[in-house]
Amino acid sequence: MITIVDYGMGNLNSVKNMLKRIGVPARIASDPASIESAEKLILPGVGAFDPAMRKIRDAGLGEPLRAKAREGKTPILGICLGMQLLTEGSDEGTEPGFGWIPGRTRAFRGRIPDALKIPHMGWNETDLKRSSPLVAGLETGARFYFVHSYYVDCAEAADRVMTTRYGIDFDSVVQRGNIYGAQFHPEKSHRFGMRLLKNFSEIAPC
């Protein structure tokens, strides 16, 4: 059973419906006890970095998530803003992130040509940098649906699984141990997204 974390800033039902479509049991939960008992966790997110971290803290979910990540070694997948929350912080605000992926979330503005629109929105290809159970069966050229104005910049190349080109090359899939992130929306990415979510469902806890 996959637990989708509800902290008030995610397209939860879209993720749950895609998991149901591929035959993966899932529940949406917003209480610490459900996080503590989870076998796998998906941290979705749509919106801004600082409000998201504050909502997680105010809901009492921060410490249970940290315990699952560091002590329980539970597989955790951050999606879109949820991936950005895995980093140390963001250009978008001042709140610290979880810091499970060393690096920072940076703004596209000022780093890409002015002719490119922000947010980066629509389908784009990925470039495979290393193997990971999250992307098993997905090669360079796999296409996913993106909507974001900020991107993750990993501090360590070893955490970088896939990159995507939008004026610059940015990290679109990351992994460090049991922590995974996808900048795109797999729940909106048809067969490629279905494969990634199925892969996550099959990852065994450490």
Distances (CA, A) of 19 to 25, 58, 102, 103, 182: 7, 28, 29, 29, 16
Alpha carbon distance 194, 18 (integer Å): 7
Contact 182, 196 (CB under 8 A): yes
Q: Is 58 exposed, middle or buried (0-12, 13-18, 19+ CB in 10 A)?
A: exposed
> From the CA atom positions of the chain, what is the Rg in Å?
15
Looking at the annotation, which residues are catalytic?
Answer: 80, 185, 187
Contact 41, 32 (CB under 8 A): no
Quick one: how far is CA 46 from the chain centroid? 11
Alpha carbon distance 22, 18 (integer Å): 7
